[in-house]
A and B are shown apart, each in its own frame.
Chain A
Amino acid sequence: MPYQIDNRPADTRESLYFPEIFRAIGLVVKTFWRNAFFSRDPNTDILERDRSSNRVTTLQYPEEKAPYPAGYRGLHRLVPRPDGSPRCVACYMCATACPAQCIYIEAAEVEGDPIEKYPKQFVIDELRCVVCGFCVEACPKDAIRMDTGEHPAPTYAREGQIYDLKRLLRGPPVSYEKDPWLVRPSRLTDAALKADRAAARPYGTQGTDEYTQTPGFSVRELAAEAKARGEAK
């Protein structure tokens, strides 16, 4: 219990009002002194703030943003290849998995390639999206992620909430060892290709869910811990 409520009647000293008010004034003056004369620790993690002098816990929102927890499902992005084109191969897995049916894909054939497709248009209606993350789970190519840590920006018109390929395709590119463009001849220049191959991750050992994409956070480790505690099989 944070407060001990004491319902005894006020004693003589307390019924004089003033002594207690003076003490309380002292308290407020101390708080004022701390907050007015010392600078605020702008740490966005409020619980980690140094509150020894200034005790303000305000977060100046648009300028300072609180860090989201690991695995937070933010605004979608289409993961680019190193050459800037989307990793997406327009397989419709995400659109099929989506319970809100908010993904619209228009597939097209890659010129000169007998099998590969690419999305000519890829639209997500963020107003319909229920932020379940199934699209990320469903993607076999790790081409759609929710690791931006942002919200869809507020807009005055509904049209602003419809994100097309142009707006979705952003963020750092991701490569895997068995990516076809690293194996087969590609549009990348030799130097870029070499660098990309060096940065490529082995495919298959990485999950595609957003938890495993966050550094230092692993669902598998969590599961192992739970297993060790006997909470899960």
Chain B
Amino acid sequence: MKRFVGMWLVIGAVLVGLVGLFAAFYALAALGARGAVALGFPGFFGSAIVNAVTLMAVTLMTVAALLTVAERKWSAAMQDRIGANRILVLGKFPLGGVPYLLADALKMLTKESIYPAARSKFLFELAPVLAFSPTFALFAVVPVGPEVRALGQTVGMWVANPDAGLLWIFALAGLSVYGTTLAGWASNSRVGMLGAVRASAQMISYEVSLGLSLVGVMIAYRTVNLQAMAIAQGVEVLGPVPALGLLLQPLGFLVFFTSSFAETKRAPFDLPEGESEIVGYFLEYSGMKFGLLFLAEFVEVVILAAVTTAVFLGGWHPVLFEGWLKAHLDPLAFGAVCAASFLAKVILLTWLQLVIRWLLPRFRYDQIQGLCWKLLLPGALVNVFVTAAAVLVDPSLQVLAWIGVVEIVAIFGITMAVSKPKAAHGGHDHGDAHGHAAHAAGH
């Protein structure tokens, strides 16, 4: 019971802390905007620079680094274990394993980098950077919070807000495969090369369904700008229910989430890594270069969660009690609550990814390609056509929302409709096993 209360207290404290943090970030962004105006530049220059630090360098990197701890502790809870708890702060408090973060970082930074003699010298150094930076830069277009008027400036909680937001995401997600491929190729190791080939084949396949899965969203919201998409998701469509991407595009959500999960190269899509068969494309890397490849994976997880949140889970809209919050809170506080709810959704989705990562074993190669080309791609195509037809019939998205409801109910129904194993079949197997046992005993 003590733990139960404690866990909820921690969750509450994290949420409150996030609200406070984002209030501070808004204030900092407003200060940056004022500074830029004072220097004669447009205000968003300053807020973008401040946001690049607060959102990307602080928030994103902290969440990604904490994910290494979460991976240990959450996976432990999923597998009836306790997880890392041997570092005790002040000799008493394990603090949920968070001090392991420092130990890991220290280890990564102080380890020796070992270089294979036959490497491609320049590309070997370049590959980790190429793997990390596009993924990292993806976060620039993710709108974390709404536009808020603070300190006399209108500031947004994003680094950049290009009209082609989703295209930026496609472009950079496609670019990140270069790091992986080059890492395998430049290390001049046949096993690393195998990992790289697997990675590129997987990426190319899933890139297709990744792109197609978002076409439906683009049709529904009639924009590729992520901030506009987030705003569109706050509009009520079925009574009080807002037009969340999850409601309008459940199929698109499934395809996008799966495809981008494959892009992160984590189990069950970890064929490029496949540590039990080939060690993977980073086989020859050590020290902080490996750390960068490793961190890129975690950053990818967070960014996938962020993009999914922005496109499908209502972005920064705190879906519950939004009207009440907006009416009763100061605009800055409301913005902070919105941004905090965005990050809370991101954390929830990273948690969901960890659940899947620790749940499923690695797919076989033909299963991976089969899942992509036979299931996700046709699903995405059907989704595009159905969405287009629904939007054509009813531009107010009502029809699309109802189709989404039907899809959700259908998916739920199929999930729950488990056929009982046939008794006769099972009996036969049982008899068969006995037969084998008797046979063995006879020998």
Contact = CB atoms under 8 A, between A and B. Distances in A.
Are both chains from one complex?
yes
A202 interface: no
Contacts of A40: 82
A198 interface: no
Given A4-B429, A29-B355, A36 B77 contact: yes
A25 B375 contact: no
B16 interface: no
Contacts of A8: 425
A143 B356 CA distance: 60
Contact of B415 (A22, A28, A39, A55): A22
Nearest to B268: A21
B419 interface: yes
B359 A39 contact: no
B326 interface: no
A19 interface: yes
Nearest to B358: A28
B415 A32 contact: no
B78 A13 contact: no
B78 A35 contact: yes
Contacts of A56: 80-82
B368 to A, nearest CB: 11
A18 B429 CA distance: 27
Nearest to A51: B80
Given A5-B429, A25-B356, A31-B77, A37 B415 contact: no
Contacts of B433: 1
**Interface residue SS majority, chain B:** helix
Interface in B356-376: 356, 358-360, 371, 375
Nearest to A20: B415
Interface in B1-29: 1-4, 7
Nearest to B413: A19
Interface string A49-66: 000000111101000000
Contact of A21 (B4, B74, B356, B426): B356
B438 interface: no
A28 B360 CA distance: 10
Interface in A102-128: none
B114 interface: no
B82 A60 contact: yes
B327 interface: no
Contacts of A36: 7, 74, 77
B442 interface: no
A95 to B, nearest CB: 42
Given A13-B417, A32-B78, 8 more contacts: A4-B430, A8-B425, A21-B359, A28-B358, A31-B77, A31-B78, A35-B76, A36-B74
Interface of B: 1-4, 7, 74, 76-82, 254, 352, 355-356, 358-360, 371, 375, 411, 414-415, 417-419, 421, 425-426, 429-430, 433
18 contacts: A1-B430, A4-B426, A8-B425, A11-B419, A19-B417, A25-B352, A25-B356, A28-B358, A28-B359, A31-B80, A35-B76, A37-B3, A39-B2, A39-B3, A39-B4, A40-B82, A57-B80, A60-B82
